[in-house]
Amino acid sequence: MSTVKVKGHTHLVRDLKSQAIINTDSDAYARYMARKAKQSKKDDEVRDVIRDVNELKTEMREIKDLLVEIKNGRLISINNQYI
């Protein structure tokens, strides 16, 4: 790959074949990848919390429905089990 330095930029070169500007600062790239991995982990944690909250909401709805049925006498208790 044939490149030339971009004037005024120490970490940039131009690929002469494609005319693309390429950043050669490997430390900046490593920092970028670390930030990206950290954000990805944070996004996964948020998704897990949302999933847990939705599961709790569903369970609370089921408990509420059962309590309403008990209150209205639709569930019968036999040996401490409702049918």
* Pair of tokens at residue 22: 């390429």
pLDDT the model gives residue 63:
94
Q: Select from 27, 28, 22 the least CA-distant residue to 9.
A: 22
pLDDT the model gives residue 69:
85
Domain ranges across the chain: 3-82
What contacts 20, CB < 8 A, 6 or more positions away? Answer: 14
- Say whether pLDDT at 82 is over 60: no
Instruction: Give mean pLDDT, residues 28-35.
Output: 96
pLDDT the model gives residue 78:
61
- Say whether pLDDT at 75 is over 70: no
